[in-house]
């Protein structure tokens, strides 16, 4: 294990940075959070993520780890004996967790951000339908992965939970901005029960931004035509 202080480079509305905060909290790790400005990127960010120039970046000692899903795995493996596990121990279950986490980023995030970026009603309707389809598939994933327990990770919050949970403020903000109901208890009842349980956890209360603040940020991005997007 590499010794040294932990720093996290992020931006407050980024669900990708938020999920890293969640796992650091779950592990009970102390860290320094450094807010970056994506319109005026810091030298520290450019130095430690010269390829993508995006947040989040986890700096552990003299090492930098980029991309949120990679960072989560690093934290879980490097501090495997600290706090609660993030990924399952079983290799097959670990693979399934990784699959659905990638699905959240590739399909769900793309869809609900697409709602906000749509410039026509037709395009918005298409992205709303895509978001509903993604959430319905995640409903099935929850039923299988949770095995009747409270979270995707079983009795405690795991890899899929933080990946999806970090997006909840944005999904709710997208509902307000678009006027569309995305999290619909008639379509995804199990997922809605999970949402309520997740939002009640200390992990969510301490890390998720205020929905109204995210809504304002989203509306501002629409005005500026998305010159800055939540990083990955």
Task: List, in order, residues 6 or more apart from 163 with CB less than 8 Å away.
Answer: 19, 69, 72, 100, 101, 104, 105
Residue 9: closest CA among 51, 50, 54, 39: 54
CB–CB of 10/34 below 8 Å? yes
- In tens, the pLDDT along 140-188 reads 999 999 999 999 999 999 999 999 999 999 999 999 999 999 999 999 9
Distance, CA of 106 to CA of 158 (rounded, Å): 19
Which helix (DSSP H) or strand (DSSP E) does residue 8 occupy? strand 6-10
Which helix (DSSP H) or strand (DSSP E) does residue 169 occupy? helix 168-178
Q: What is the pLDDT, as a whole number, of residue 4?
A: 75
Task: Characterize the bridge pairing of strands 6-10 and 32-35.
Answer: parallel
pTM as predicted: 0.94
- In tens, the pLDDT along 56-101 reads 999 999 999 999 999 999 999 999 999 989 999 999 999 999 999 9
Domains of the chain (ranges plus CATH)? 6-78 (3.40.30.10), 91-223 (1.20.1050.10)
Q: What is the pLDDT, as a whole number, of residue 25?
A: 95
Task: List, in order, residues 6 or more apart from 27 with CB less than 8 Å away.
Answer: 75, 76, 79, 82, 83, 84, 86
Length of the chain: 232
């Amino acid at each position: 294990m590499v010794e040294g202080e932990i720093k996290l480079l992020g931006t407050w509305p980024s669900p990708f940075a938020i999920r890293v905060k969640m796992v650091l909290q779950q592990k009970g790790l102390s860290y320094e959070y450094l807010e970056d400005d994506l319109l005026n990127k810091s030298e520290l960010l450019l130095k430690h993520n010269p390829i993508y120039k995006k947040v989040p970046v986890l700096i552990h000692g003299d090492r930098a780890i980029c991309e949120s899903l990679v960072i989560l795995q690093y934290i879980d493996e490097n501090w495997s004996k600290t706090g609660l596990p993030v990924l399952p121990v079983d290799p097959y279950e670990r693979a399934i967790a990784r699959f659905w986490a990638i699905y959240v980023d590739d399909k769900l995030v793309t869809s609900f951000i697409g709602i906000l970026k749509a410039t026509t009603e037709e395009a918005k309707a298409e992205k709303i339908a895509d978001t509903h389809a993604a959430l319905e598939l995640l409903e099935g994933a929850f039923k299988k992965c949770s095995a009747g327990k409270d979270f995707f990770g079983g009795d405690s919050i795991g890899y899929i939970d933080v990946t999806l949970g970090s997006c909840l403020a944005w999904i709710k903000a997208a509902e307000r901005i678009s006027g569309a109901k995305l999290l619909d208890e008639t379509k995804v009842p199990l997922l809605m029960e999970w949402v309520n349980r997740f939002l009640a956890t200390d992990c969510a209360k301490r890390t998720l931004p205020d929905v109204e603040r995210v809504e304002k940020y989203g509306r501002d991005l629409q005005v500026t035509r998305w010159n800055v997007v939540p990083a990955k």
